[in-house]
Structure formats: structure tokens, C-alpha cells
Homo-oligomer: A and B are copies of this chain.
């Protein structure tokens, strides 16, 4: 009666996509399995068939996202020929990914405010992998006497925090702009301008002169 046999892979992907969207928009708790099933035009039980349970689905969503962003950053940084370049590329490619997938920053921030309550291991590993990319850049830059010594973890969070908050607060900032023209909330800044500003800030500050 219903449209069955619709290709397993495709169905699974559809579920993942909708889950990603809903989780990011509403958070883990506020998103129900029913929501996801309806959005995906799929029976609720099927979600359990594919993903064991809600938290399993969430994990799979998050892994996907982390893998993707890692790929993006790593790939982009291949064609670099200086550590400073590498930092720039790190920031730009993270920024561009964040803007292209605006659910990601929300999910990441939420996860970090929970100290990773929902997904212990995988999240953890992926985060560290990303951080060690930056950490490594900074270390090499220091060895090459291009950058001063810095606290990599804090640099990382200034970059990630700055970019993520710019993405997640976009609607808030637009609203603020409409209410009070005097305060500039950067409501229609472009990604690249933000990324550039962050990069320049870091370079300026860290560079050995």
C-alpha cells in the first residue's frame, strides 16, 4: 500500500539528513523521534531498525559532521606552503564549513556546554583530532620562530568560539539591529570578512616581529 522498497541507503540518508537538521534546530532533547520520522516521511519503527535508538542516531549524525569538517580542513591545507598559510586555511575552511552547515556550530556548542553528555567517545576523539591540527600548526610556527609561544587550547577556542557564535547568533543579531541601529552587531557581515578578521587578529598578535 505505502511506497516501500525505496532503496535502503537512500532512506537511511534521508533520516540522517532530517535528524541533523532537527537536532541542530531544536537540540537533542527537544527533538522527538516522531519529529524525525515525520520529517523523513518514514515510519518511526524504521528509525529503530536502522539506528538502535535515539542516541545512536544522534551519534551517527555527529560523527558524520565531524568527519566532514575534518576532511574539509585537512584537504584545504594540503596546498599550503607556509605555516601562516596553514593557519589562514584552517580558519577559512572551518568558517566556510560552519556557514555552509549552520546546524553544526549549534550542535557543537551545545555538546561542549554539556561536557559531552550525549556522546562520550566518538565526539571526544573527533574534537581532539581537529584540535591537534591547529595545535600542530602553532607548534611548528613556534619552532620556525614565525609565531611567539601561545596557549593553543585558548587560541583554538577563540577561533572556534568566535566563528560558531557568529553563526548561531545570526538571527539574534539581525533582530538586535532592527531594534537599535546604534549598536553594530555585524548583522550582515560576510563569512569571509569574519574569518579574515579572526585570522588577522591572531596573526598580528602571534607573529614575531
Residues of chain A whose beta carbon lies under 8 Å from any beta carbon of chain B: 26-30, 105-107, 109-110, 112-117, 124, 127-128, 131-132, 135, 150-155, 157-162, 164-166, 168-173, 175-176, 180, 183-186, 189, 193-194, 197-198, 200-202, 204-206
Contacts and interface: CB of A to CB of B under 8 A. Distances in A.
Contacts of A194: 151, 154
Contacts of A107: 113
19 contacts: A27-B114, A28-B29, A29-B30, A109-B112, A115-B168, A116-B172, A131-B183, A151-B186, A151-B189, A151-B197, A153-B189, A154-B198, A157-B161, A157-B162, A157-B165, A161-B162, A161-B165, A201-B201, A205-B205
Contacts of A109: 109-110, 112-113
A154 B204 contact: no
B185 A173 contact: no
Give the 3 A-B residue pairs with the shortest CB-CB distance, closest first: A161-B161, A29-B29, A153-B186
A147 to B, nearest CB: 12
Contacts of A114: 27, 106
Contacts of A193: 151
A169 B112 contact: yes
Given A115-B170, A115-B171, A160-B165, 6 more contacts: A106-B114, A153-B184, A153-B189, A154-B194, A161-B161, A202-B205
B124 A158 contact: no
Contacts of A160: 161, 165
